[in-house]
Amino acid sequence: MLINSTTFSLGELQEHYARLKSKTLRIHLRVLIAKFWTLTLFHLHQRMPHKSQEMHAKQLN
């Protein structure tokens, strides 16, 4: 989508920019949360290998 800057008012551009910014912030938050959960699950997996192996076995069956 091309934005013709001459047809946009300054307010519209600021609004568009704010929307883009909030979108990227939400994406960054999701990435951070995903990384956090991955690390947490990884640590739990390392601390209790037998339990997670049991869980994987149950999921496979």
Indicate if the pLDDT at residue 54 is higher than 70.
no
Spatial CB neighbours of 19, under 8 Å, sequence gap ≥ 6: none
Q: Note whether residue 3 is domain-resident.
A: no
Q: Note whether residue 50 is domain-resident.
A: yes
Q: Note whether residue 37 is domain-resident.
A: yes
Q: Note whether residue 5 is domain-resident.
A: no
Whole-number Å distance between alpha carbons of 59 and 51: 12
Q: Note whether residue 2 is domain-resident.
A: no
Give residue 51's domain range. Answer: 12-60
Indicate if the pLDDT at residue 31 is higher than 90.
yes
pLDDT given for residue 35 in this prediction: 93
Structural domain tally of the chain? 1
Q: Note whether residue 4 is domain-resident.
A: no
pTM of the full predicted structure? 0.44
